[in-house]
Amino acid sequence: MKFYSTNNKTNLVSFKEAVLNGIANDGGLFMPVEIPKLPQAFFSSLDKLSFKEISFIASRQIFGQDLKDEILSEIINSTITFDAPLVKLNNELNILELFHGPTLAFKDFGARFMANVMAYLNKDSDREIKILVATSGDTGSAVANGFYKVKGINVVLLYPSQKVSKIQEQQLTTLGENISALEVKGTFDDCQRLVKQAFLDKDLLNHCNLSSANSINIARLLPQSFYYFYAYSQIKDKSLPLIISVPSGNFGNLTAGLIAMEMGLPVHKFIAATNANDVFPKYLETSVFQAKPSVKTLSNAMDVGNPSNFVRILDLYNHDHNLIKQKIFSTSFSDSETIEAMKEIKTKYNYIIDPHGAVGYLAMKKYLSENYYNQFNGVILETAHPAKFADIVEDVLDTKIEVPERLQTCLTKKKSSIEISKDYIDFKNFILSN
């Protein structure tokens, strides 16, 4: 399949180019020239399929022209090694737990898939790939874990200093080997800007092979659609309207869900749940998108003031504001509201949720308060294990959180990071000297 740039639909590249380059040479993001529909037989048989089988069938629709079945099967088998269970809160509300992977965050799915794909595509090359990753918390650790010790690939993580949790920082900065961590004296948007600027720097591109592992890379974005199909397979009464609330920062997770819907997943409404970084709800309200500096919140992985995947959402719906409003409801919440939601969920449902999932819960509640449904299937994405935000969760709920062993291990390791300013020249000099 060919992929085009969101800046120019005639700028077409192959699957391999889209994955290994990460971003188009005109600064746009790659999109598939067509989003194939899955057959009705697939949806009719979902109950009988495993997570791996669902992922293989869905991925084959998109990547089947470029990856042989046996290769794709190997990639899926290496990627989907953990579950994404749907946990009931009550008869209508469910939590999709996406934190059972190695770094306890939803990004494990896309990062592992992409790492396996890139390793396969680069296996015969003698040129090393340098992957640049801007992270507001979870992306970096998921990507680092996925690419750890992968031959021919080095990863450079950029994260905002003092704006990620302690556990997140330990996951980012303690691997070593082919993983380097840059502690940027700025915000996540500064980190993202540095990465984007590097991809447009011809001098740098002549010096080394650059690629991206953020959700701007199509190979990290598309696999995130798999667990939407899997969530639907776990719902008993599929005749009821399906409403999905997605905690949203850079909007890759939501975009993957929208692509799943375009492939045939019968979603009645998507909810883009945001914290105080509310540029998307403002866009839906006014039809004008205005990026702004991100602000720090308890749900730090969503602290994004200029979400990259917004251009993909515009592209998906031909810049039709009314159509986007039909597909997506969006709203924002403060830290104090997030705290109250965490308490409410613990008291009402005896479920411990992290701050990001709490924002998703609040957005679902608000949407339902404004739109009556006799019955429905509500799915709230829980994107990270509460232990990753233990200091917040334990303080709010006055409850001790059990830290999984794979997190405890990284907490004992020594942090290794390099501090740089938010000026591009400092970042460029680091790349050129390493």
pLDDT tens digits for 7-32?
999 999 999 999 988 889 898 999 99
Sign of the alpha-carbon torsion through 267, 357, 56, 147: positive
Residue for token digits 């746009």? 28
Among 231, 68, 228, 214, which Cα is nearest to 143's?
214
The predicted structure's pLDDT at residue 122: 84
**pLDDT above 80 for 260:** yes
In the chain, what percentage of residues exceed pLDDT 70? Answer: 100
**pLDDT above 80 for 376:** yes
- Domain 83-105+221-402: CATH class, spelled out: alpha beta
Q: Summarize pLDDT for 223-254 with one digit per residue, the tens.
A: 999 999 999 999 999 999 999 999 999 999 99
The predicted structure's pLDDT at residue 160: 92
**pLDDT above 80 for 67:** yes
Distance CA 267, CA 242 (A): 5
The predicted structure's pLDDT at residue 288: 97
SS3 content of the chain, % helix, strand, coil (to 5): 45, 15, 35
The predicted structure's pLDDT at residue 184: 95
Output 211 or 96, whichever has higher pLDDT: 96
The predicted structure's pLDDT at residue 213: 78
**pLDDT above 80 for 78:** yes
Give bridge partners of residue 271 from the DSSP assignment: 245, 329
The predicted structure's pLDDT at residue 147: 85
> Can you list the alpha helix ranges (DSSP code H) found in 8-90?
15-21, 40-44, 51-63, 69-79
**pLDDT above 90 for 215:** no
The predicted structure's pLDDT at residue 136: 75
**pLDDT above 90 for 42:** yes
Residue for token digits 């997190």? 407
Q: Please, what is the average pLDDT of the chain?
A: 93
Residue from 48, 107, 123, 292 carrying the catalytic annotation: 107
pLDDT band at 334; cut points 50, 70, 90:
very high
The predicted structure's pLDDT at residue 47: 92
Mean pLDDT of 409-421: 88
**pLDDT above 80 for 98:** yes
**pLDDT above 90 for 279:** yes
CA 389 to chain centre: 18
**Could you give the 3-state DSSP secondary structure of residue 63?**
helix
**Burial (CB count <10 Å: 0-12, 13-18, 19+), residue 16:** middle
**pLDDT above 80 for 55:** yes
Q: Which two tokens stand for residue 168?
A: 């997140």
Q: Summarize pLDDT for 135-171 with one digit per residue, the tens.
A: 876 677 888 888 888 888 899 999 999 888 788 888 8
pLDDT band at 407; cut points 50, 70, 90:
confident
**Could you give the 3-state DSSP secondary structure of residue 400?**
coil
**Range with the largest mean pLDDT of 160-164, 214-218, 308-312:** 308-312
Mean pLDDT of 292-302: 92
238 flagged as catalytic: no
The predicted structure's pLDDT at residue 254: 97
Three-class SS of 367-394: HHHHCCCCCCEEEEEECECHHHHHHHHH
pTM (two decimals) = 0.90
Distance CA 242, CA 376 (A): 6
**Could you give the 3-state DSSP secondary structure of residue 183?**
strand
The predicted structure's pLDDT at residue 423: 96
The predicted structure's pLDDT at residue 406: 81
Q: Which two tokens stand for residue 104?
A: 């306890």
Q: Which two tokens stand for residue 137?
A: 């918390």
| Side-by-side strand order, sheet with 86-88 | 86-88, 93-97, 377-382, 242-247, 269-274, 328-332
Angle among Cα 92, 88, 113 to the nearest 5 degrees reads 110
The predicted structure's pLDDT at residue 430: 93
Pairs from 41-50 (Cβ < 8 Å, separation ≥ 24): 42/264, 43/232, 43/264, 43/266, 46/229, 46/232, 46/233, 47/233, 49/233
Q: Which residues contact 160 (CB under 8 A, 6 or more apart)?
A: 136, 184, 186, 187, 188, 190, 191
pLDDT band at 284; cut points 50, 70, 90:
very high
Distance CA 33, CA 10 (A): 10
Got the DSSP string for 148-180?
A: TT-TTEEEEEEEETT-S-HHHHHHHHS--TTEE
Mean pLDDT of 310-339: 98
**pLDDT above 80 for 127:** no
Mean pLDDT of 205-218: 84
